[in-house]
């Protein structure tokens, strides 16, 4: 037995998906503007290229597919070398100008520091990227947990955890 009333007709003992009455117009969703458009026989296809584009210039993303570390903020570099005429080719076929490169130090939430070597300065990149593959090549082990990322560096006598 179904408790409550149908969201379509308001009568008890069934759900809206099983309602025999014509479905109500659901265009009155709050805070959404609805403009009816007759598309006729037009076939549509939609691809979401990017989502959640709120940018934080100090935020870093681990990218296991990136071949280089990339930063948009020149002020984050601890040392800096300007360069001209080099381009960054991205996975979405876009290109961006590389205007400098050098080292920078990331402060982790644990308080430890991670020095990234030969980071590219690309001012118009939306997300600062740490190359997961470069960390692995440098001897780090990457661990992705439910709400955080940790990296470990194995040494002969100890294991250092940087979170």
pLDDT tens-digit series, residues 84-99: 989 998 878 888 999 9
pLDDT for 119 equals 95
- Tell whether 37 is covered by a domain: no
- Tell whether 33 is covered by a domain: no
> Would the pTM count as exceeding 0.75?
no
Structural domains in the chain (count): 1
| CATH code assigned at 86 | 2.40.70
Please report where in the chains the tokens 């590219």 appear, as a residue: 120
Rounded to an integer, the average pLDDT of 16-42 is 59
SS3 assignment, position 89 = strand
pLDDT > 50? residue 28: no
pLDDT for 58 equals 82
Which of 124, 134, 126, 127 lies closest to 103 in space, CA to CA? Answer: 134
Which residue segment(s) compose the domain that 156 sits in?
A: 60-162
Please report where in the chains the tokens 């308080």 appear, as a residue: 111
């Amino acid at each position: 037995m179904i408790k409550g009333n149908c969201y379509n007709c308001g009568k008890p003992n069934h759900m809206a998906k099983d309602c025999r009455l014509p479905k109500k117009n659901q265009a009155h969703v709050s805070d959404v503007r609805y403009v009816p458009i007759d598309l006729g026989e037009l076939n549509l296809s939609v691809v979401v290229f990017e989502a959640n584009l709120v940018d934080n210039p100090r935020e870093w993303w681990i990218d296991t597919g990136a071949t280089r570390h990339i930063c948009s903020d020149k002020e984050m570099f601890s040392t800096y070398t300007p360069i001209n005429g080099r381009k960054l080719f991205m996975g979405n076929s876009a290109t961006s100008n590389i205007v400098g490169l050098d080292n920078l130090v990331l402060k982790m939430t644990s308080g430890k520091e991670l020095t990234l070597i030969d980071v590219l300065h690309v001012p118009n990149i939306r997300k600062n990227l740490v190359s997961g593959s470069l960390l692995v090549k440098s001897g780090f082990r990457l661990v992705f947990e439910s709400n955080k990322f940790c990296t470990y560096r194995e040494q002969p006598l100890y294991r250092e955890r940087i979170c």
